[in-house]
Amino acid sequence: MGAFGDPTLQLITDTLSDIELSTASSTTLGTNYLEIETSLEDAVICITQNDSILVASHIYKGNNKLEFNKIIFRHILITATAKIKQYLSRKLQLMKGIHHL
């Protein structure tokens, strides 16, 4: 029987590790996609801009191309989560048409 009598409740029994993902070092303001590479088998990622969701998707091991409406503001926020991993939040600032991570 699981914790608190609930057999479906999954308990974390290990230390959470960091989510590792990477994106291109720069992109043009107005682009409509972002490529993300990860070694995770399954993660959930969300890219937002001015509190509006551009894309929310599962990503998988390898290279993932996430398409969305074009970036028109100077900041986007990437958030990611995965089982037994630390939550990741990364803000990207776009300046003069190019952003750097």
Instruction: Give the global pTM.
Output: 0.72
Please give the mean pLDDT across all residues of the chain. 78
Residue 44 has pLDDT above 80, yes or no: yes
Tell which residue, 76, 89, 79, has the closest CA to residue 27: 76
How much is the CA Rg of the chain, to the nearest whole Å? 16
Tell which residue, 88, 65, 81, 70, has the closest CA to residue 29: 70
Confidence band for 16, pLDDT divided at 50, 70 and 90: confident
Which is it for the CA torsion 50, 53, 54, 57, positive or negative? positive
Residue 100 has pLDDT above 50, yes or no: no
Q: What is the CATH number of domain 18-95?
A: 2.60.40.10
**CB 45, CB 36: distance < 8 Å:** yes
Give the pLDDT confidence score for residue 99 in this predicted structure: 42
